[in-house]
Amino acid sequence: MKILCIGDVTSPGGVKHLEENLWRIRKEYGIDFCVVNAENASVVSTLSLSQADALLSSGADVLTGGNHTLRSRGVYSLLENETRVLRPLNYPEDVPGAGYGIYDGAGYRILVISAMGTVHIEPTLDSPYPYIDRVLAREEGKYDFAILDFHAEATGEKVAMGYAYDGKIHAVFGTHTHVQTADECILPHGTGYITDVGMCGESGGVLGMNPEGVVRRMRQKLPIPFAPADGRAVANGVIFTWDNATKRTTNVRRISF
């Protein structure tokens, strides 16, 4: 089994890039299942119904979320009606949508969990640990492989999450910081891990955004609007390879296209 996980889609340009390239990449690398974090697809303002449809028809099997997912009320009905679009698990239970699902991938049942950290990130949610624990207990025996997208700011919080579920979740990957890290590894009990898979959007800026507006906001502390950068679009991700017999991760490979 080969699982492709792609970092935060930062703009409509990132959506278009995946529309044009994702099926080709899936075929080239023999990808069986693909998870895309899409919480920023509308430029730091969640994703639209049309963007979700475009990504799901372009090779994404599941869209995960983050701190911007619920920023617009327009996404609420999408979260309620489309089981392949997730928001972080550790939002209050009465928030629209779900934080996990079980999906078919090459004949295997794949549990995908979307969760959010609590360090230097807003809104501040409950600790994700009891939420994840409950899902694993509730769904025990109902899935073959498990994936966790941990959307968090602090690298230490992400690393700790990987070790916490080493041997319990088959792949743990971080999102949110938009910079692909070089610490991909297989943890001692067989979990594939990387602190951040990066982003999908225009290059040459600050985390996918035009540097002029970001610098002005940093200097002046004013709500300067962000706009996508001017460089060519690029997608960052990671490929986890799983052994179907042992249910262990055998390889973790970074990818950019």
Structure confidence by residue, pLDDT tens digits, 2-42:
999 999 999 999 999 999 999 999 999 999 999 999 999 99
pLDDT digits (tens, 9 = 90+) for 223-256: 888 999 999 999 999 999 999 999 899 999 999 9
Give the pLDDT band (50/70/90) at residue 72.
Answer: confident
pLDDT, residue 45, reads 75
Query: Could you tell me if residue 220 is inside a domain?
Result: no
Mean pLDDT of 180-207: 97
List the CATH number of the domain containing 252: 3.60.21.10
Residue 74 has pLDDT above 90, yes or no: no
Query: Could you tell me if residue 17 is inside a domain?
Result: yes
Mean pLDDT of 106-122: 97
For the record, the structure tokens of 251 come out as 């390889």
Query: Could you tell me if residue 88 is inside a domain?
Result: yes
Mean pLDDT of the chain: 96
In DSSP terms, 114 is beta-bridged to 149
Answer yes or no: are the C-beta atoms of 40 and 8 closer than 8 Å: yes
pLDDT digits (tens, 9 = 90+) for 94-109: 999 999 999 999 999 9
Mean pLDDT of 200-213: 94
In DSSP terms, 112 is beta-bridged to 101, 147
Number of structural domains (the chain) is 1
Answer yes or no: are the C-beta atoms of 227 and 210 closer than 8 Å: yes
Answer yes or no: are the C-beta atoms of 255 and 238 closer than 8 Å: yes
pLDDT, residue 174, reads 98
Give the pLDDT band (50/70/90) at residue 46.
Answer: confident
Mean pLDDT of 71-87: 95
Residue 196 has pLDDT above 90, yes or no: yes
Residue 43 has pLDDT above 90, yes or no: no
pLDDT digits (tens, 9 = 90+) for 216-227: 999 999 988 899
Q: Which of 68, 151, 170, 178 is catalytic?
A: 68
Concatenated DSSP letters of 29-85: HT-SEEEEE-TTTTTSS---HHHHHHHHHTT-SEEE--TTTTSSGGGHHHHHH-TTB
Mean pLDDT of 152-176: 98
Query: Could you tell me if residue 70 is inside a domain?
Result: yes
Query: Could you tell me if residue 177 is inside a domain?
Result: yes
Residue 44 has pLDDT above 80, yes or no: no
Mean pLDDT of 59-83: 95
Concatenated DSSP letters of the chain: -EEEEE-EE-SHHHHHHHHHHHHHHHHHHT-SEEEEE-TTTTTSS---HHHHHHHHHTT-SEEE--TTTTSSGGGHHHHHH-TTB---TTS-TTSSS-SEEEEEETTEEEEEEEEE--SS-SS----HHHHHHHHHHHTTTS-SEEEEEEE-S-HHHHHHHHHHTBTTBSEEEEESS-S--S--EE-TTS-EEES---EEEE-SSBTTB-HHHHHHHHHH-S-PPP-B-SS-EEEEEEEEEEETTTTEEEEEEEEE-
Query: Could you tell me if residue 53 is inside a domain?
Result: yes
Is 151 labeled as catalytic in the residue annotation?
no
CA distance 154 to 226: 22
Mean pLDDT of 179-195: 98
Query: Could you tell me if residue 213 is inside a domain?
Result: no
Full residue range of the structural domain in which residue 240 is found: 2-202+233-256
Query: Could you tell me if residue 31 is inside a domain?
Result: yes
Number of other residues whose CB lies within 10 A of the CB of residue 156: 11
